[in-house]
Structure 1
Amino acid sequence: MHLERLTSILEIVGQKGAVTVSEICTHADLPKPTAYRLVQDLVSVGLLEPLARGQFSVGSRLKQITHGGLSDSGLLDVIAPALARAATNHGAAFFLSRLRAGRVEIIHVATPDNGVSYLHPGVGKRPLHACSCSKVIAAYSPELLSRSALTGELRRYTDNTITSLRDLESEFEVIRAQGYAECIEELERGICSVATTLGVNGPGATLSIGVTASARVLTHARRKLIGETLRTMARDLSGTLGWREADADRKTG
């Protein structure tokens, strides 16, 4: 019964675009206290979002779930070829990450096909505070920290790992200013990475592309060059995917 009521509310909001709790009561035949409580439950998990004048609309999380082009396979059709070209051109592993259920995962890695040696970052979940692919997504979605189990001190992986939320928030400011994130031996000694999101809001903010290599290869100057290369790639990929906000609001350093 509870799930059916939640589903009914989502159907009503999806069909009407924006509704008040009173309108939900009318269409779903629910008492106002019950409707209000269910709406707040849906808002708390991002399936609905409040508008002005007491109205509610479909939330950003539900839009991301239902966006037709956001399946892993649909994204890879567009993004994987670009990552493969970049991997060969730069002689390093390029990867795609996405936000899924409050965690950031590397879902695809492209490696060079020209015989050069490279470091493979692996696939799977990454900590929000100690990897470029997750830090850059969290920088544009700071609510992730409140949803996670991060409190006070963060897990230390190396001597370079950020271990306080205050320092992490300062790092996010730097990331937003330069438009990309760096991981300088924070997750594993001797390994660095750089990553940027495909946009600063909307679906693009939940996806990041990046590159990983040894600290010897990814020097300060090389990281800056790669960061700008990734931003250009992100703009092109976002345009191909039809996300016009791609880099319009991103600050530059």
Structure 2
Amino acid sequence: MQLERLSLILEIVGQRGEATVGDICRHSGLPQATAYRLVQDLAAAGLLDNVARGRFAIGARLKGIVQDDLSDDALCGIIAPRLARAATEVGAAFFLSRLRGRSVEIIHVETPETGVSFLHPGLGTRPIHACSCSKALAAFAPDLLGGQAIEGRLKAYTDLTLTRMEDLQAEFAQIRSRGYAECVEELERGMCSVAAPLAQEGPGARLSIGATGSARVFTPVFRARIGQDLLGLAQELAAALGWDWSEPAPRPA
């Protein structure tokens, strides 16, 4: 348990680049006193550095052990240009999300260069059960939702939001089959999105890319096409990052 908490803190700080104890509490669910004590232990061991008042970054000792930079800035440097190209080609906003602790957060958005109308998804944390960027990751991480313990506590954002674990598990099976997730007016009426993980295992399984737009534009046919485009883009990005990319299993007849 203690090792898991320490690992979770290092993961959150490493992804954000810098984080406060408050940031760590928000993404980990740890009590503030516990998070503060563990952060101090990690700093004393040289695994975290206090880079500013109340802000911590990965320490020099840990950087010497782990050479790959998976911070938000480093990932966006590789992924953002490809999302920008897709946004302009499709005429919709494209986004990058990552699993941070036990929450999923949209960390970057690219919008079309042209003057076409588009919907911006915004940045920040998204519910695990009601957004394509989250569901695309949760489908391949069975323990992320906490199983039956969360039954009855999932918020209905619209009348289309799935709040029963039975329904969510059925949708997760469909996501695993086709490789991408959809959100059809589940988070906000009139808004749809499609997202796919960068990989089904390893660090890519903690990142998803997606596109969002109005329900009028994101028809079932359009969403299916975007979903296939995202799978191809995910494969391209996984290769650029040196990660394995797994072909989704064939859909059952």
Is TM > 0.5 for Structure 1 vs Structure 2? Answer: yes
Output the CA distance in 1 between the equivalents of 2:176 and 2:157: 24
1:80-229 alignment to 2 at 5 Å?
A: 80-146=80-146, 150-229=150-229
Shift in alpha-carbon separation, 1:148–1:114, aligned structure 2, 3 A? farther
Output the CA distance in 2 between the equivalents of 1:193 and 1:208: 12
**AA paired with 2:198?**
L
Output the CA distance in 2 between the equivalents of 1:247 and 1:211: 21
Shift in alpha-carbon separation, 1:67–1:105, aligned structure 2, 3 A? farther
Residue of structure 1 in register with 2:249 after alignment: 251
Unaligned stretches of 5+ in structure 2?
Answer: 8-61
* DSSP-derived class of the 2:150 partner: coil
* DSSP-derived class of the 2:139 partner: helix
For the Cα contact (< 8 Å) 1:153–1:164, is it kept in 2? Answer: no
Shift in alpha-carbon separation, 1:230–1:148, aligned structure 2, 3 A? farther
Structure whose residues are more often helix by fraction? 1
The two structures, once aligned, show a CA RMSD in angstroms of 2.3
In the alignment of these two chains, the number of paired residues is 192
Q: Return the TM-score normalized by structure 2.
A: 0.72
Residue of structure 2 in register with 1:23 after alignment: none
Cα displacement string for residues 66-113 of structure 1 (whole angstroms, at most 9, x for unaligned residues): 572311011011100000000000000000000001100000000000
Q: Return the TM-score normalized by structure 1.
A: 0.72
Cα displacement string for residues 205-240 of structure 1 (whole angstroms, at most 9, x for unaligned residues): 000000000000000000000000000000000001
Cα distance, 1:154 vs structure 2: 1.6
| Residue 236 of structure 1 pairs with residue 240 of structure 2 | no
* DSSP-derived class of the 1:125 partner: strand
Residue of structure 1 in register with 2:36 after alignment: none
Cα distance, 1:145 vs structure 2: 1.1
Output the CA distance in 2 between the equivalents of 1:148 and 1:84: 39
Q: How many percent identity over aligned positions?
A: 57
**AA paired with 1:247?**
S
Output the CA distance in 2 between the equivalents of 1:174 and 1:180: 9
Output the CA distance in 1 between the equivalents of 2:249 and 2:107: 27
For the Cα contact (< 8 Å) 2:147–2:165, is it kept in 1? Answer: no
Residue of structure 2 in register with 1:38 after alignment: none
Shift in alpha-carbon separation, 1:120–1:170, aligned structure 2, 3 A? same
Output the CA distance in 1 between the equivalents of 2:107 and 2:75: 10
For the Cα contact (< 8 Å) 1:95–1:109, is it kept in 2? Answer: yes
* DSSP-derived class of the 1:140 partner: coil
* DSSP-derived class of the 2:69 partner: helix
For the Cα contact (< 8 Å) 1:102–1:147, is it kept in 2? Answer: no
**AA paired with 1:105?**
E
Output the CA distance in 1 between the equivalents of 2:70 and 2:151: 31
Output the CA distance in 2 between the equivalents of 1:69 and 1:220: 38
Cα distance, 1:204 vs structure 2: 0.6
Output the CA distance in 2 between the equivalents of 1:212 and 1:191: 7
